[in-house]
Amino acid sequence: MPHPAVDLLAARHAAVRAAAAMEGLDGLVVFHLPNIRYLTGFAGSAAIAILTRDEIILITDGRYVTEVEETVRPGCPGLRLVKVDPAYDATLAACLEAAGAIRVGFESAHLSVKRHDALAAALRNASAGGGSAAALVPAERLVEACRMRKDAAELAALRRGGALIDAIAAAVLGDVRAGQSEWEVAAGIDDRIRRGGFERASFETIVASGPNAALPHARPGRRVLQPGDLVVLDFGGVCEGYCTDITRTVSVGEPSAEARGLYEAVAAAHRAAAAAVRPGAPITDVDEAARAVLEARGLGTAFSHATGHGLGLEVHEEPRVGPRRPDIPGVPPAGRDDRLEPGIVFTIEPGAYVPGLGGVRIEDDVLVTPDGLEWLTGARRELRVV
Ligand code: GLY
Ligand code: MN
């Protein structure tokens, strides 16, 4: 993956430092690997980062030291590499002891109780021994909130990924045939994703045919595609670290009037959701627009998931593009105050699932712009009969 430009990483550090300062924190311990990647460019499988007022400490082990020295540190302002010795949490405790009496947030959503208790005990012991170790304070969403608005490097990767997955979607729709098993279709999609320039699939490819299409997240199996099936194909690839996510539904042979009606209803919900996207609009508007279309056609209960989700370094990230959930604290959008802003990237993926008949989902990735939206994916959406 190309390293984000130094000035972009500096801007990310500044934004997270400002968010931490608003919480009365002098720094943040970052455990969540996508957050570490966002702040440093490090894409390995194990690390802890500590963002302080004047540096970012990257703790990693011997497998990654050379990579960090050669490719991460040169592009990351203020990065200090600390090699694990003898174990991750002991090294973290030593860094926090050395930091002095500062208040440091830690990502409480990403640290187990067991690890937290051991870390807190180590810091207490250090203080009892006459030291002035950092105080740990639970913190939430400091990096995730910044990650919602994509910067120039992220948008470039997302646009490249969108163009690549569109081309793959077009090819995949030409591949699907009656007589193939769901496994075969999924293997063909995965092969195209790898050969098409992606690092890997964004998630396990979904191919759901006939009655299985009524299960929104069915796993592909041995079922063979048959005339009269609706087939939901949901897949994506990771391009330069950034996820794409697209769904198309095809009909094997001519669809029944009921199946075509289901498709048209979901397509109308998709259009309505897209029409609701504009900066300043409550995020819940997008879900409400899609849901209203399906409810008006008697398909409200058949739409059993949110309209979309944020997309970026993770395939599911903030914001949640669903109904208002004031009952779940900390899950945005909790109310009508969470609004779309330019730079937010998310999926629009209404669906309708009817046991016995099957299901339809149509999914695309969009960017909120100052005027409305930019489609990051846009492979043809008309019902394809294969
Ligand atoms: N497209 C897969 C998902 O959103 O979970
Ligand atoms: Mn999705």
Q: Give the other-Cβ count within 10 Å of 47's Cβ.
A: 23
Residue 227 C-alpha to ligand 1 middle, in angstroms?
A: 26
Nearest to 361 by CA among 303, 286, 316: 303
* pLDDT score for 334: 46
Ligand nearest to the CA of residue 234, numbered in listed order: 1
Strand partners, 271: none
d(CA 301, CA 255): 22
Does ligand 1 have an atom closer than 6 angstroms to the CB of 234? Answer: yes
Domain 6-147, classified CATH 3.40.350.10, yes or no: yes
What fold, for 152-385? Creatine Amidinohydrolase (3.90.230)
Averages of pLDDT over each 10 residues, the chain, 386 residues: 83 97 96 98 98 97 98 97 96 92 93 94 84 87 95 98 98 96 98 97 98 95 98 98 98 97 98 98 96 98 97 96 76 65 98 96 98 95 96
Question: Ligand 1: which atom is nearest the Cα of residue 234?
Answer: 1
Question: Ligand 1: which atom is nearest the Cα of residue 247?
Answer: 1
SS3 (DSSP) at 167? helix
Cα dihedral sign, 94-97-103-108: positive
Q: Among 203, 243, 345, 366, which is best to mutate for testing ligand 1, by the most ligand atoms less than 8 A from CB?
A: 203
Q: Considering only CA atoms, give the Rg of the chain.
A: 23
Residue 122 C-alpha to ligand 1 middle, in angstroms?
A: 40
Domain borders along the chain are 6-147, 152-385
Does ligand 1 have an atom closer than 6 angstroms to the CB of 203? Answer: yes
Global pTM reads 0.95
* pLDDT score for 379: 87
Nearest to 244 by CA among 340, 375, 339: 375
Strand partners, 368: 373
Residue 246 C-alpha to ligand 2 middle, in angstroms?
A: 7
Residue 306 C-alpha to ligand 1 middle, in angstroms?
A: 11
Does ligand 1 have an atom closer than 6 angstroms to the CB of 365? Answer: no
Question: Ligand 1: which atom is nearest the Cα of residue 235?
Answer: 1
Q: Do domains 6-147 and 152-385 have the same CATH topology?
A: no
Does ligand 1 have an atom closer than 6 angstroms to the CB of 88? Answer: no
Does ligand 1 have an atom closer than 6 angstroms to the CB of 287? Answer: no
Q: Is the peptide bond before 333 cis (omega within 30 degrees of 0)?
A: yes
Compute CA 208 distance to the chain's CA centroid, rounded to the nearest angstrom.
22
Does ligand 1 have an atom closer than 6 angstroms to the CB of 318? Answer: no
